[in-house]
Amino acid sequence: MHRAGVAILFSATLSVACGRDAPEPAAGEQRPAASGTPTADIRTLAKDDGQWVMAPKDYAATRFSGLTEITTDNVKNLPTV
């Protein structure tokens, strides 16, 4: 009997941890990303070239920034961090 109780408790905990008990979003709303940030906000941030919302910058993994503040002429003046 003890094992059955542990199995039920484990199953319930796993169900909650996986978000199975999370309410469905209302019509027209997006489900938040795992971090709690809605996907639409990530897309909006990604349009700003200064925002890297993921390690490779974007879903295409471009790793390119169009920012022009640091150039080949002034990069030598950057301090070591």
List all residues 6 or more positions away from 40 whose beta carbon is below 8 Å from its beta carbon.
30
The stretch 56-79 carries a mean pLDDT of 91
| Domain ranges within the chain, ordered by starting residue | 35-64
Among positive and negative, which fits the CA dihedral 20, 26, 28, 30?
negative
pTM for this structure? 0.38
Handedness of CA 26, 31, 37, 40 (dihedral sign): negative
Per residue in 1-59, pLDDT (tens digit) is 566 655 555 555 555 555 555 667 677 676 666 666 666 788 888 888 888 888 998 88
